[in-house]
């Protein structure tokens, strides 16, 4: 649901309606497709709710490998989710700005369009910052998968490579690797992990053994 929601809201709505180089076109697109834009906002929130749920599930799954690392990964991932969720307030606010809110009557039409585009840019920058945190948490999670023995090591290796790409968003001016390359690779790896967990699951006996050992240490 996280992957599908992100693809729909970002690829089929946001990228089609928003032009960061033209405030007028963006304003006209948002006003002409208000229901679709509001739906994409709802989908973004559902995406983040699913992200939080996945964070909790991965903590439960991987804490027998290293409770400390799993806890750090979970907190960093939740930090990214909070940043991204708060950024979405700047995503939906332009619709209120452009809809003739009386509190903004002192601004002319061009100023309102410019303000709406600025808010969308802040949303975009906030979402990019969240990806940097997801890069850290994803790298730690993939490392635990690599060490787990109850999941294939190749999933951990691919996960660390995919997550490392998001780290470039700690410094926004970096242009390499390009976003689309990172996104497509990360989505492919995530889809592979989902497929493996649904079809094959984990080696239950090894997981129980790791869990038993971790509780003995405690």
> What tens digit of pLDDT does each residue of 198-215 get?
999 999 999 998 888 878
Full residue range of the structural domain in which residue 130 is found: 2-217
First to last CA, the chain: 35
pTM of the complete model: 0.88
Instruction: Quick: pLDDT tens for 103-119.
Output: 777 888 899 999 999 99
- What's the confidence (pLDDT) of residue 217? 58
Please state the rounded mean pLDDT for residues 177-196. 90
Using one digit for the tens of pLDDT, what is the confidence trace for 126-161?
Answer: 999 999 999 999 999 999 999 999 999 999 999 999
pLDDT of residue 218: 55
Express each pLDDT in 156-173 by its tens digit. Answer: 999 999 999 999 898 878
User: What is the tally of structural domains in the chain?
Assistant: 1
């Amino acid at each position: 649901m996280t992957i599908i929601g992100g693809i729909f809201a970002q690829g089929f709505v946001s990228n089609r309606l928003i032009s960061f180089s033209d405030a007028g076109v963006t304003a006209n697109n948002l006003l002409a497709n208000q229901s679709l834009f509001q739906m994409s906002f709802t989908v973004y929130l559902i995406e983040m709710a699913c992200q939080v749920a996945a964070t909790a599930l991965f903590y439960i799954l991987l804490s027998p490998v290293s409770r400390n690392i799993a806890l750090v990964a979970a907190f960093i991932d939740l930090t990214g989710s909070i940043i991204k969720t708060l950024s979405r307030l700047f995503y939906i606010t332009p619709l209120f700005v452009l809809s003739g809110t009386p509190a903004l009557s002192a601004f002319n039409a061009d100023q309102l369009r410019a303000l709406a585009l600025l808010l969308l840019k802040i949303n975009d920058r906030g979402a990019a910052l969240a990806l940097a945190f997801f890069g850290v948490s994803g790298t730690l999670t993939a490392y635990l998968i690599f060490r787990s023995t109850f999941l294939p090591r190749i999933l951990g290796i691919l996960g660390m490579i995919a997550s490392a790409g998001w780290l470039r968003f700690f410094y926004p001016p970096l242009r390499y690797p390009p976003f689309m390359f990172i996104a497509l690779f990360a989505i492919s790896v995530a889809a592979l992990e989902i497929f493996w967990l649904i079809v094959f699951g984990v080696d239950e006996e090894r997981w129980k053994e790791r869990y038993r050992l971790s509780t003995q240490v405690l």
